[in-house]
């Protein structure tokens, strides 16, 4: 028993001995208040559950995602005051309620106050406005409960991890002006890829052949090992190489132009989408962080519209600042994609730093093209043309938020 309770019991005894019923009643009421306060602070959070649900974990810029929060009090004790602080990545926009600053770096709080009767369940719905591309994380929820007299408070923290990826918007691609061929439609110089669905007979076994390629029946019939032969594939392979660096400064400075960086992402996403619709196998390489252990983003080229989801997820998580020089990811491409793949470099900067790498790729059998975007795009396009590399100027008018088309001009 606490000292305060001992004093209250003493007050009741003095009232009884002196014949002062008012003093006794005061002691009883004070003791009751103290007991109830202790009851709420020690038992208030028992059998209280908090749920958070997103109607989906992927969204496109401009969408709305429904966020549902559910609180349930599964006990006889009512809760006159319950506060929940839901911690989420800073910058998340909730239409009905602004998030509050948090003491934790990079996080904000979605705060709600509830009053629950015994065995009551309350539901509140919010709408997240996807007005920023990126990866948004929901971390922990802090629950606080107090008694009706607001004298005591108890709290705990519950881990409820969830993520929401906001993908960039995409727009149709429109090319105009004189050209030899549309960007991304030039055939590869060598047909090194084979289509396993196009069986074309057998050939002598080679030491580098995989076991699954050996034709067992034909080998037994001929008495020597032979391998299956396939027709070469005519599927076009395109690699969109995105330079996320939006200022002409050293990459390690980590400065960026937000609108120009978003324009680059929208342009890259639109180009990938267009190539996949046209039937090409398209991939992505970018010199930015993508919320993974890798310093750069890389999606190997594949065909099919399902590939678009993987590319848009990576672009949704991509940082606005570069993680490595653009020429570094270009120099790595020969080790990651087959020769003859078309490389489509998208950048807003002076190409002087990566021009030699593009020319080296062209000499190695890669079909190289360039897309310039930004206020100096025409200047960079002319420099690339003088160096013998096909280049286009990309425009999103009036801006990346409201443009209806990605305009490619020669």
User: Residue 84's pLDDT is what?
Assistant: 95
Cis before 398? omega within 30? yes
User: Residue 190's pLDDT is what?
Assistant: 37
The span from the CA of 322 to the CA of 75, in Å, is 53
User: Residue 41's pLDDT is what?
Assistant: 75
Q: What is the DSSP letter of 187?
A: P
- Of 343, 334, 346, the C-alpha closest to 261 is 346
Question: Lowest-pLDDT range, 64-73, 160-169, 262-271, 274-283?
Answer: 274-283
Query: What are the sequence ranges of the domains in the chain?
Result: 3-43, 48-167, 173-189+234-409, 194-232
367-373 and 390-395 beta bridge pairing: parallel
User: Residue 319's pLDDT is what?
Assistant: 93
The span from the CA of 378 to the CA of 355, in Å, is 16
Torsion on CA atoms 251, 253, 259, 260, rounded to nearest 10: -30
User: Residue 136's pLDDT is what?
Assistant: 95
**Do 48-167 and 173-189+234-409 have matching folds?**
no
Sequence-distant (≥ 6) Cβ neighbours of residue 17 within 8 angstroms = none
- The mean per-residue pLDDT over the stretch 128-148 comes to 91
Split at pLDDT 50, 70, 90, the class of 193 is very low
For residue 316, what are the CA distances in angstroms to 132, 168, 337, 369, 374? Answer: 9, 6, 23, 24, 21
Residue 185 has pLDDT above 70, yes or no: no
Split at pLDDT 50, 70, 90, the class of 221 is confident
Question: Lowest-pLDDT range, 158-172, 182-196, 286-300, 360-374?
Answer: 182-196
**Which tokens belong to 11?**
């007050």
Task: State pLDDT tens for residues 360-396.
Answer: 999 988 989 999 999 999 999 999 989 989 999 999 9
**235 backbone dihedrals φ, ψ, rounded to 5°:** -65, 130
Residue 147 has pLDDT above 80, yes or no: no
Residue 72 has pLDDT above 90, yes or no: yes
Residue 240 has pLDDT above 60, yes or no: yes
Q: At what angle do helices 306-317 and 258-277 cross, to 10 degrees?
A: 170
User: Residue 187's pLDDT is what?
Assistant: 40
Task: State pLDDT tens for residues 84-134.
Answer: 999 999 999 999 999 999 988 999 999 999 999 999 999 999 999 999 999
Fold of 48-167: Immunoglobulin-like (2.60.40)
Q: What pTM, to 2 d.p., does this model score?
A: 0.77
Split at pLDDT 50, 70, 90, the class of 37 is low
Contact assessment for residue 128 and residue 67, using Cβ atoms and an 8 Å cutoff: yes
- The mean per-residue pLDDT over the stretch 246-259 comes to 86
- The mean per-residue pLDDT over the stretch 137-164 comes to 86
**Which tokens belong to 72?**
């349930």
Contact assessment for residue 283 and residue 240, using Cβ atoms and an 8 Å cutoff: yes
Output the CA torsion sign for 147, 151, 152, 158. Answer: positive
User: Residue 163's pLDDT is what?
Assistant: 96
Residue 196 has pLDDT above 70, yes or no: no
User: Residue 332's pLDDT is what?
Assistant: 94
Split at pLDDT 50, 70, 90, the class of 10 is low
User: Residue 210's pLDDT is what?
Assistant: 66
**122 backbone dihedrals φ, ψ, rounded to 5°:** -120, 145
Domain at 173-189+234-409: CATH architecture: 3-Layer(aba) Sandwich (3.40)
User: Residue 189's pLDDT is what?
Assistant: 38
Residues in the chain: 410
- Of 28, 29, 147, 24, the C-alpha closest to 79 is 147
Contact assessment for residue 184 and residue 274, using Cβ atoms and an 8 Å cutoff: yes
Task: State pLDDT tens for residues 330-355.
Answer: 999 999 998 778 999 999 999 999 99
User: Residue 181's pLDDT is what?
Assistant: 44
- The mean per-residue pLDDT over the stretch 22-45 comes to 65
- Of 300, 321, 381, 318, the C-alpha closest to 345 is 381
User: Residue 176's pLDDT is what?
Assistant: 66
For the chain, give the percent of residues with pLDDT over 90: 58
Residue 6 has pLDDT above 50, yes or no: yes
Residue 156 has pLDDT above 50, yes or no: yes
For residue 137, what are the CA distances in angstroms to 49, 159, 164, 165, 292? Answer: 20, 12, 6, 9, 14
């Amino acid at each position: 028993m606490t000292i305060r309770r001992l004093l209250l019991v003493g007050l009741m005894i003095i009232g009884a001995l002196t014949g002062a019923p008012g003093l006794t009643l005061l002691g009883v009421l004070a003791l009751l208040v103290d007991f109830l306060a202790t009851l709420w602070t020690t038992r208030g959070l028992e059998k209280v559950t908090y749920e958070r649900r997103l109607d989906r974990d992927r969204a496109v810029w401009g969408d709305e995602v429904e966020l549902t929060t559910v609180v349930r009090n599964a006990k006889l004790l009512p809760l006159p005051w319950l506060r929940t602080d839901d911690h989420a990545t800073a910058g998340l926009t909730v239409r009905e309620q602004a998030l509050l600053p948090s003491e934790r770096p990079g996080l904000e709080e979605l705060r709600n106050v509830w009053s629950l009767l015994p065995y009551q369940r309350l539901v509140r719905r919010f709408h997240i406005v996807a007005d920023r591309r990126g990866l948004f994380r929901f971390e922990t929820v802090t629950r606080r409960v107090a008694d009706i007299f607001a004298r005591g408070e108890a709290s705990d923290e519950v881990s409820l991890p969830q993520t929401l990826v906001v993908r960039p918007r995409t727009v149709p691609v429109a090319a105009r002006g004189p050209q030899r061929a549309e960007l991304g439609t030039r055939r590869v110089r060598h047909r090194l890829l084979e289509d396993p669905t196009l069986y074309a007979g057998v050939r002598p076994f080679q030491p580098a052949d995989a076991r699954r390629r050996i034709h067992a029946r034909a080998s037994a019939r001929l008495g020597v090992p032979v391998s299956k032969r396939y027709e070469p594939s005519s599927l076009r392979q395109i690699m969109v190489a995105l330079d996320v660096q939006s200022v002409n400064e050293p990459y390690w400075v980590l400065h960026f132009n937000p609108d120009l960086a978003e324009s680059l992402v929208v342009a890259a996403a639109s180009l990938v989408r267009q190539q996949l619709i046209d039937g090409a196998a398209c991939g992505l390489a970018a010199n930015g962080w993508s919320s993974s252990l890798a310093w750069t983003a890389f999606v190997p080229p594949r065909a099919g519209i399902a590939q678009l989801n993987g590319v848009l997820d990576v672009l949704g998580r991509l940082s606005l600042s570069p993680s490595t020089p653009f020429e570094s990811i270009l120099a790595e491409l020969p080790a990651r994609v087959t020769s003859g793949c078309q490389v489509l470099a998208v950048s807003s900067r002076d190409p002087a730093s990566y021009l030699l790498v593009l020319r080296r790729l062209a000499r190695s059998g890669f079909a190289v093209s360039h897309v310039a975007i930004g206020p100096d795009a025409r200047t960079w396009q002319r420099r690339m043309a003088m160096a013998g590399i096909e280049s286009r100027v990309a425009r999103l008018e009036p801006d990346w938020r409201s443009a209806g088309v990605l305009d490619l001009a020669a």
